[in-house]
Amino acid sequence: MKNASTENVRRRSGGLLGRRCLFIGCVAVSLAASALAGSQGEAARLPWRVVLLKFDGLPFHLVDDNIDRLDSRTARRWMPWTRHVFYENGVRFPHFFTRGLSISAPAWCILDTGRPPAIRFSVEFDRATGAVEDYLNFATFYWDMLRRQRIYPRPVEVLDELGVPLFSDVFPAERTYSSIQLFQRSLRWMVLANVARRQFFHASPREYLYQAAGGMGFKNAFFEANEREFLYEIEHSGKQYLDFFSAMADKNLHNDNGPGAARHVVEELDQVVGRTFEAIQKSGISDRTILVLVSDHGMNTRSDRFSQGFNLVRLLGLPQGGAHHVLTKRRTLSNYSLKILVRPLATSVVNRSQAGGYLKDKPEYVTAMLDLDGNERASLHLRSSHLNRLHLVLLQLQKKIRTRRSPSSLAEELRVLQNGLEAKVGRQLVELEEELGNLSETLSSLKEARDLTPAQKFQRDRFESYREAYEAYRQALSGLLRARPEEVADGKVSVRQLLPPGIFGPSNGIHELQEYVVDVDMEGRYRTLDYFQFLAGQRVRNTRGGVESKPVDFVATRVPVEQALPALQAAGLGADEDPVWLYASPESQALILAQSFSGETRLRYVPVAQLRQDSSGAISFRRIPFQPGLPLRIWEDPDLGVTGRREEWLGQFHGEEEWRWALYRTRYSLGILGLYEACQRPRTLPGISPALARFFRRRQLHMDPDLQIFAADGWNFDVKDFNPGGNHGGFFQASARATLMIWGGERTGLRRGVSIEKPYDSLSFLPTLVDILRPLDGGSEMMRRLSAVPWAGQSAREVLQAELAQAPP
């Protein structure tokens, strides 16, 4: 029999428990509600908000050509939201170009920092240490994150080292939302968790069947999870800066040039625009929100032809190409490789040459490093030709290569080569020692500091690795300079000790590239290769779709101004900075000269032929008249926008703006400006401490390629896979013309339904954004900091309504 009092106690306690639970539940709900209301309340207090949609590789022509398209069966619009938001109610920039090379890392660097690119290629190789910087590799980033070896992706680490802030750094962390992308400071583990959930847990049995039948793949699930989080943040949070990154366009358009792929891309893009726009409307502060759709570069894709691949890695590995072991960031034909399973996260792959040569059985001696990102261009580092000669002499001294040369002549040559190397690098080694000393001091102070943030700790570790690697480089070269022939001949010191693998030495000048030493014959004569002629002279038999049989359009390299000046002056020309030399054939070449006029840099395009550099460094060339077939084909381009006689106009120096207006409709778009940007020496780094500035500038110089190779239209240099779709990297209109469109709420003062016909490049992006936000801002500290930045680009103030555009900044 139940005890009544016990029962009553039980009931009371049960009731008390229930009331407690109810109370706790109410508190929890109210806390959540207040958090929600609080965040929405915070949003309401924001003076303005900026939302960026970043689509990698979205060409403007794809958007513009399809904006009015209707489905043939249902008459449904392909892009209703883009049309409504940006074309009818926003501002679009039909002539917005990537500045420099149309590749992702430098392009996003410009867009995210507003400055000339501190990161100049998507993959960079350090000639001194053989290190590979792959800025596009997310897999290794997350792997390093899991192992607690990194907190930011590599591009952000490099920017931090160089003292270049991101635009989003201006905002407090709690007011910033950045999705997974190249330049991010936040992690999105929840996105990955949501991807897993979306892939493996479904709402209904039909969804499971849909997945089994090949439904949403991982990439789509990732894209969707990313977007969901982004939309939630817009609607519910008090974030002031939000951006969403998608590589969907780039991935699809690289692989498929068909109309189906184009439609898929624009429809997906439009849905993102639509959902984002609706989320903004629901957020409550749409009247003072700016929505931007921007891409880093375009995509050169045509539905009537496949892009055709030319394998530079294989070419360089052939005997006639120099029998190089080539270092790339990705494995050749990675989809058909088993080795990739052993090292799936490898950031560098050695492509071994099967040709005979003095390095045939030594694949660790990489002598060429090739960056192929974008596929429409390539950057090539070759080991110093001087080091090649040294290597051959050392091998002959140790009789590892048998020639008819006497030991005394080899010893004499070794001395001469050492003297030559001393002249090239002697001073640099002294400076490097000093720079490493500064770096050591910085490291010591970092090691002694007690309150380092995790980012600073990782930076300290990286500085340590730089110091070690560069110290090894300095000692190797110093050892090489001190080596005595008799020690080498006696075997007291090995060639590997004197010349370790991975050291490429100083950059090759034009003379070295025109007489590049690749091997030695029985007589001891060096076999050389003119890489300009070799690369630009390649021909392919099997081409289709109107693609020309010459895969390499032209090759570009920088000419040190001190070497070029005598020849320029003799030809009645001048330059204040290093000219850029473009080589299409022996009789079809050009120089891009830069001179400073009252603080403004002006450029000039000069056709030349037969440019050569002799062993003393003297440059000679022949000036030729403007004619069809020159690199960039400006002369014959019907869309060249110049006033007056073409020859007269082209025979003068012009500023950037003049060149933009002249070139923006031409086949090679802003190629002259892009080449100047891409081939310049690294700029001064304003944000870095003076003690370290020299070291990092040296490091940047070491990452300068010897040559930049540009593919002809319809060609690509992809080796990782077959790439019949589109490509980018070069200066063709479709590759370089990116997308920029802006919409603003009622209070933003943005014009509606306007197309800005003036050509701009990516340096103008952030100054324009700042000018749009300034009138909304009440003079906050954030805006003061933004206004104080010496933006390199021109702001497009014409996006604002007249009275705002005319107001002083």
Residue 520 sits at φ, ψ, to 5 deg, of -135, 145
By the 8 A CB rule, do 105 and 154 touch? Answer: no
Interaction with another protein in 315-354: which residues (CB under 8 A)? 335-338, 341
Nearer to another protein, 427 or 752 (CB): 752
Q: Is 209 in the site for another protein (CB under 8 A)?
A: yes
DSSP 85: I
Q: Is 257 in the site for another protein (CB under 8 A)?
A: yes
Residue 471 sits at φ, ψ, to 5 deg, of -65, -40
Joined tokens for residue 459 = 């930076």
Q: Is 538 in the site for another protein (CB under 8 A)?
A: no
Nearer to another protein, 511 or 728 (CB): 728
Question: Quick one: which of 722, 747, 787, 789 contacts another protein (CB under 8 A)?
Answer: 722
Q: How far is the CB of 256 from another protein (least distance, A)?
A: 5
Q: How far is the CB of 209 from another protein (least distance, A)?
A: 5
Non-local CB neighbours of 88 within 8 Å, separated by 6+ positions: 752, 753
Question: Quick one: which of 54, 77, 405, 654 contacts another protein (CB under 8 A)?
Answer: 77
Question: Quick one: which of 70, 190, 345, 802 contacts another protein (CB under 8 A)?
Answer: 70
Q: Which residues pair with 743 in a beta bridge?
A: 291
Question: Quick one: which of 308, 367, 442, 589 contacts another protein (CB under 8 A)?
Answer: 308
Residue type, 603: L
Stretch that binds another protein, among 242-250, 270-278, 585-593, 672-680 (CB under 8 A): 270-278
Nearer to another protein, 140 or 538 (CB): 538
Q: Is 726 in the site for another protein (CB under 8 A)?
A: no
Tokens 């090995």 sit on residue: 494
Q: β-strands 588-597, 600-613: how paired?
A: antiparallel
Q: Is 44 in the site for another protein (CB under 8 A)?
A: no
Stretch that binds another protein, among 256-264, 498-506, 660-668, 784-792 (CB under 8 A): 256-264
Q: Is 212 in the site for another protein (CB under 8 A)?
A: yes
Q: How far is the CB of 504 from another protein (least distance, A)?
A: 28
Q: How far is the CB of 216 from another protein (least distance, A)?
A: 9
* Nearest one of 137, 203, 123, 197 to 345, comparing CA atoms: 137
Q: How far is the CB of 753 from another protein (least distance, A)?
A: 12
CA distances from 703 to 130, 347, 422, 427 (A): 10, 16, 21, 19
Question: Quick one: which of 107, 225, 261, 711 contacts another protein (CB under 8 A)?
Answer: 261
Joined tokens for residue 86 = 């940006």
Please, what is the angle between helix 259-283 and helix 248-255, to 10°? 170
Interaction with another protein in 581-600: which residues (CB under 8 A)? none
Q: How far is the CB of 215 from another protein (least distance, A)?
A: 7
CA distances from 767 to 242, 688, 771 (A): 18, 22, 6
Tokens 């990732």 sit on residue: 222
* Nearest one of 233, 376, 401, 398 to 312, comparing CA atoms: 376
Q: Is 306 in the site for another protein (CB under 8 A)?
A: yes
Question: Quick one: which of 275, 352, 362, 646 contacts another protein (CB under 8 A)?
Answer: 275
Nearer to another protein, 73 or 450 (CB): 73
Report the alpha-carbon distance of residue 46 to residue 51 in Å, rounded: 13
Q: How far is the CB of 335 from another protein (least distance, A)?
A: 8
Nearer to another protein, 338 or 788 (CB): 338
Q: How far is the CB of 275 from another protein (least distance, A)?
A: 8
Q: Is 371 helix (H, G, I), strand (E, B) or coil?
A: strand
CA distances from 504 to 322, 493, 514 (A): 15, 20, 17
Q: Which residues pair with 556 in a beta bridge?
A: 582, 708
By the 8 A CB rule, do 613 and 510 touch? Answer: yes
Q: Is 258 in the site for another protein (CB under 8 A)?
A: yes
Q: Is 81 in the site for another protein (CB under 8 A)?
A: yes
Nearer to another protein, 682 or 745 (CB): 745
Tokens 């974008």 sit on residue: 374
Q: How many residues does the chain have?
A: 809
Q: Is 407 in the site for another protein (CB under 8 A)?
A: no
Stretch that binds another protein, among 71-79, 440-448, 585-593, 617-625 (CB under 8 A): 71-79
Question: Quick one: which of 721, 774, 782, 792 contacts another protein (CB under 8 A)?
Answer: 721
Q: How far is the CB of 214 from another protein (least distance, A)?
A: 6
Task: Count the Cβ atoms, other than its own, within 10 Å of residue 148.
Answer: 9
Stretch that binds another protein, among 6-14, 323-331, 414-422, 720-728 (CB under 8 A): 720-728
Non-local CB neighbours of 746 within 8 Å, separated by 6+ positions: 287
Q: Is 274 in the site for another protein (CB under 8 A)?
A: yes
Considering CB under 8 A, how many residues would be counted as binding another protein? 53
Question: Quick one: which of 444, 465, 475, 549 contacts another protein (CB under 8 A)?
Answer: 549
Spell out a b/e string for 372-392, using b for 16 or more CB atoms within 10 Å of the CB, else e.
Answer: bbbbbbbbbbbbbbbbbbbbb
Nearer to another protein, 307 or 388 (CB): 307
Question: Quick one: which of 117, 309, 357, 767 contacts another protein (CB under 8 A)?
Answer: 309
Q: Is 547 in the site for another protein (CB under 8 A)?
A: no
Nearer to another protein, 57 or 579 (CB): 57
Residue 288 sits at φ, ψ, to 5 deg, of -125, 35
Report the alpha-carbon distance of residue 80 to residue 92 in Å, rounded: 15
Task: Count the Cβ atoms, other than its own, within 10 Å of residue 315.
Answer: 19
What distance lies between CA 800 and its chain's CA centroid?
Answer: 31
Question: Quick one: which of 160, 256, 413, 713 contacts another protein (CB under 8 A)?
Answer: 256
Q: Which residues pair with 670 in a beta bridge?
A: none
Question: Quick one: which of 45, 214, 402, 790 contacts another protein (CB under 8 A)?
Answer: 214
Residue 514 sits at φ, ψ, to 5 deg, of -85, -20
Q: How far is the CB of 418 from another protein (least distance, A)?
A: 40
Sites of contact with another protein (CB under 8 A): 70, 72-77, 80-81, 84, 206, 209-210, 212-215, 255-258, 260-261, 264, 271, 274-275, 278, 281-282, 304, 306-309, 311, 314, 335-338, 341, 539-542, 544, 549, 721-725
